Structure 1
Amino acid sequence: MSALGRPVSAFGRAVRRLGHSRWFAACTPILVPADRLVARLTRGRVVALGLVPSLLITTTGRRSGRPRSNPLLYVPDGDAFVVTGSNWGRPEQPAWALNLLAEPSATVTVDGTRIPVRARLAEGAERERLWALLVAEWPAYLTYVRRAGVRDIRVFRLERNPSRQG
């Protein structure tokens, strides 16, 4: 079962195993733009080919001020969304996470619905609890921690922000 309580297909289970491999992470320069395109064409109804619970996050570029969209795996936590800046275990922080630190207001698109959110960096016991949820959905995050070395892999709780227009 996925974090959303949906059954995981045999293909989805295989992708979760492949997530640990370096070549899978090396494919992200092709996979992520393709995923963005599919998400845009389906108006956010299909992200990550529906294999893992995914959303499209739109942040404000910290330098450009322009909207930047990225597909991300998420797990639910109540009515919030939990995401992590693993960047596939690369040594650098993902740009979207740095954007959230600079401007925590963002929009997520889940199953075609745009939802305004406010990001909060999880720390301490809350981070550990949320990290366990993420690893249960995508065990390869443990591999990414080893690859990232000393870099802190941030965990964000994206809380619904009804006062902001989506």
Structure 2
Amino acid sequence: MVRRVSSTRAFARLAPHVVPALDRSVHRLSGGKYLVSGLMLPGVMLTATGARSGLPRRVPLACMPESGGTWVLIGSNFGRDGHPAWTANLLAHPDARIDWKGERVEVTARLLTGDEREAAWTAALRFWPPYATYQSRVTREIRLFRLAGRRP
């Protein structure tokens, strides 16, 4: 049922205004351990440098954890037009930080392309099938990033 609801246009209109605000509050109150959206999908709190402002920008995001200690972030923007701002931030400033299950991890983001992107996209669709609906609504190719830990 959650997958069906998250694929609707109504969810795409409402969720971007409600879910991040709830996630930020719960994240702060739980000392960085929890996100409301984590009830549906694993999630991270991404802190990246703003592409234009140069200021730290924090955004809660669903993620696809991978074996080996990497994470894939999917720039679906809930199936709305336009790439989400955090993807431009990572393109401009790939060194970032995530809060993952109460731990802060310094990461470097890399935009996935070609065969590597196709493999990650296939895995993402198995992981959360509504991503296919999001992609069908937009003409842009949804950006995927792989985050790998780094020493600060």
Same fold (TM over 0.5): yes
Unpaired stretches in structure 1, ≥5 consecutive residues: 1-13
Q: Deviations over 1:27-80 (max 9, x none)?
A: 121222121221122132111143311111111111221111111111122210
Q: Distance in 2 between matches of 1:97 and 1:126?
A: 18
Q: How many residues align?
A: 149
Cα-Cα RMSD: 1.2
Structure 1 residue ranges (4+ consecutive) displaced by more than 6 angstroms after TM superposition = none
TM-score normalised by structure 1 residue count = 0.85
Which one-letter code corresponds to 1:116 in the other structure?
A: E
Partner of 1:75: 64
Q: Distance in 1 between matches of 2:55 and 2:30?
A: 22
Q: Secondary structure at the match of 1:36?
A: helix
Q: Distance in 2 between matches of 1:59 and 1:43?
A: 19
- 2:43 matched to 1:35? no
Q: Deviations over 1:94-136 (max 9, x none)?
A: 0100000000001011111010000001111111111122112
Q: Distance in 2 between matches of 1:97 and 1:22?
A: 22
Partner of 1:111: 101
Q: Secondary structure at the match of 1:98?
A: helix
Q: Distance in 1 between matches of 2:147 and 2:43?
A: 13
CA contact (8 A) 2:38 2:62 kept: no
